[in-house]
Structure 1
Amino acid sequence: MTKTIETQRAYNTSRRRLMQGTGLAVAAMSLLPTMTVKSALAQTSDWDKVFPKSETVDHQKVSFKNRYGIMLAGDLYLPKNRGSQPLPALAIGGPFGAVKEQSSGLYAQTMAERGFAALAFDPSYTGESGGEPRNIASPDINTEDFSAAVDYLGLQGTVDRERIGVIGICGFGGMALNAVAVDKRVKAVVATTMYDMTRVMSKGYNDGVTPEQRAQALEQMSRQRWVDAENGTPAYQPPYNELKGGEAQFLVDYNDYYMTPRGYHPRAVNSGNAWSQTTPLSFMNMPILTYIAEISPRPLLLVHGADAHSRYFSETAFAAAAEPKELMIIPDANHTDLYDRMDKIPFDRIADFFGQHLA
């Protein structure tokens, strides 16, 4: 996958098909050839992030297994001037369809600059992490990925295992909340520009899917399983994020991040690659925020852009969560602004939040 962005764009189809109207466009997806992805954990030693390397942070490639035996690839960021005492630590994942070289890595490096040990990881089946077939997702396994990152951090001599927090971005914001509800080792959690992927896949944007549309999507994906079983490999959705004109603004925003030098990365699902056609199946009847109140009494901070199409996810989650909780709305910010806009992401507030609750 060494094509330039321009070449990549030339064969992409519109991301409108991902969740257009109902959020279940998988029902209309055509078959694509099996994707070829390099074997898991063939990690590059080069600095291949979409953000510049900090001179005040040490970086190293790491790997660790989750509870399902899948080997995950991560980038561990540590402050250079860290002294001899164990550090508070953060496990960081997201956005959905992104890799650790993008937003989660930027968050991790920035939090390391503020004195935290920070681990950005690729979820199972994506990026440099293990798992076959490639580019599939699971609300259960991806929730587990956060706890596996906590496992890893708690075994490091540089980390105080009683001072571990979690940051989830976009679709992995919802996974993070689900993980922290069940994993009582985590002392505090932040979710930025959060998506509840089980809600949007099962109900569509703004819960607009009808029972008939849901049944139709499930019918097609169920039958697609026979096709995949016969072929011995999954079919994939069309590549994401080419614009043809007339798309909703949030799709334009996604393109501006994932398909330009701002955020493009060849391993990211969202940078001209695709999820399998049957990926939504496991999300359709598993609402991951059912037990969000059980994060309490540990503190929760939700951060969302005032202009984000996804703002309602954080507002709904905030209403369902128990105290202590905080919802921070960032003026003049859309969904993807909180991926990488340093003037929009409230890193000072996030650092203060963890500084207080991981003390």
Structure 2
Amino acid sequence: MRTNVTFDSAGLQLAGHLYLPDNEPATRRPAIVIGHPGTGVKEQAAGLYAERLARAGFITLAFDAAYQGESEGFPRGLEDPGHRVEDFKAAVSFLSVHDQVDPDRIGALGICASGGYVIPAAATDHRIKAVATVSAVDISRQFREGADGRQDPAIIQSMLATASTARTSEAHGESIGDLTLFPESEEEARAGGRHVFEGWEYYRTDRARHPRSAKAMPWSSVDRITQFDAFRFISLIGPRPLLMIAGREAVTSWMTTQAFEQASHPKELLWIDGASHVDLYDKDKYVTPAVAKLTDFYRSTL
């Protein structure tokens, strides 16, 4: 059963979907907070994982980040890593007082960029008892170094220069527009390589297109993102358990590998053979084994 909920995150009302198992619990149940990929909304990958895990008996909460989807915040589409971390903690607060949730058995799952945001949230919030990621990305590292880690350093410097210009323009009451996130055409997307094309295909075609998912972000997002460091304090999660899941074909998998090396025990890394980064958002061939592993993980740790 899915219901619409709202909760506060640093003064902004966030919109969420709360999934309850079909059979009514006789006692309080474990619960899982699930964060969506960058540019995504709760109706996409986060909602798919929330629904699947609810079928396995967990109470799950997928929510739109502040400034995005149905949640409050202006400018629209802003990607603010500090607030994204706070959003996870606010979602935990919401679940911790829900009458069907056991507040001592709350876990968290982050997908893509949320796989980076969930790490500092869990590192500093001991109410999160078990942490998992799927296709984890440190969005700051992706902006600075590229999805494959090979980006020309001049690119981020150029973006930061534009972001600085945008802030001055805004102070004058003007705008230079937003940062476009996806190519306009399939031809342009394919020219950008597999990772760019798969992101375009997921967000811009009938595969998973949603009217509220972000197509652009304010330039003021860029300097906020660049100064962030998602995995710096990952070692603080231990001795609480950590599970990281990534596709062997994902161009971003190096970020999961590096984060996992820095993490303290107990920790586990699951590779999904044949899967790319975006494949783990919605392709049943890859989502099914990921959810099976997540189910076992949360059942044994919550």
Q: Which has the higher contact order (CA 8 A, sep 6+)?
A: 1
Q: How far apart in 1 are the matches of 2:80 and 2:267?
A: 27
Letter in 1 for 2:58: F
TM-score (norm 1): 0.79
- Alpha-carbon contact 2:199-2:278 (below 8 Å) kept: yes
Paired position in structure 1 for 2:48: 106
Q: How far is 1:186 from its partner? A: 0.4
CA contact (8 A) 2:2 2:20 kept: yes
More strand by share: 2
Q: CA deviation at 1:239?
A: 5.4
* Helix, strand or coil at the partner of 1:275: strand
Instruction: State the partner residue of 2:241.
Output: 299
Distance (whole Å) between structure 2 residues aligned to residue 209 and residue 308 of structure 1: 16
Kindly provide the amino acid, as one letter, of the partner of residue 129 in structure 2: K
Whether 2:222 is the aligned partner of 1:277: answer no
Asked whether the 8 Å contact 1:221–1:277 carries over to 2, the reply is yes
1:354 maps onto 2:298 in alignment: yes
> Is 1:244–2:187 an aligned residue pair?
yes
* Structure 1 runs not aligned, ≥5 long: 1-57
CA-CA distance at 1:291 after TM superposition? 0.4
Query: Structure 1 residue 84 and structure 2 residue 29: aligned?
Result: no
Q: 1:223 aligns with which of 145, 165, 174?
A: 165
Q: Which amino acid aligns with 1:129?
A: S
Report the Cα distance in structure 1 between the residues aligned to 2:95 and 2:178, rounded to whole angstroms.
34
Amino acid at match of 1:256: E
Whether contact under 8 Å (2:160, 2:222) holds in the other structure is no
Count of equivalent residues: 297
Change (3 A) 1:212 1:97: closer
SS at match of 1:166: strand
Matches within 5 A, 1:2-13: none
CA displacement at 1:84 relative to structure 2: 1.9
Q: Normalising to structure 2: TM-score of the pair?
A: 0.94
- Conservation of the 8 A alpha-carbon contact between 2:166 and 2:175: no
Q: Using the TM superposition, give the Cα deviation of residue 76 of structure 1 relative to its aligned residue in structure 2, in angstroms.
A: 0.2
Residue 89 (structure 1) shift: 0.2
Q: Which one-letter code corresponds to 1:148 in the other structure?
A: A
> Which digits, 9 at most, give the CA deviation of each residue in 1:48-72, with x for residues without a partner?
xxxxxxxxxx110000001x21110
**What residue identity is the alignment partner of 1:262?**
R
Contact 1:133 1:233 in 2 (8 A): no
State the structure with more CA Rg: 1
Distance (whole Å) between structure 2 residues aligned to residue 64 and residue 85 of structure 1: 24
Helix, strand or coil at the partner of 2:24: coil
Deviation at 1:214, TM superposition (A): 4.1
Greater share of helix: 2
Alpha-carbon RMSD across the aligned residues, in angstroms, is 1.5
Residue 315 of structure 1 aligns to a residue whose secondary structure is helix
Paired position in structure 1 for 2:3: 60
1:262–1:216 CA distance, 2 compared to 1 (3 A): closer
Rounded to whole Å, the distance in 2 between the matches of 1:60 and 1:234 is 39
Unaligned runs of 5+ in 2: none
2:254 aligns to what SS in structure 1? helix
Q: 1:262 aligns with which of 189, 207, 212?
A: 207
Q: Mapping of 1:99-138 within 5 angstroms?
A: 99-138=41-80
Percentage identity across paired residues of the two chains: 36
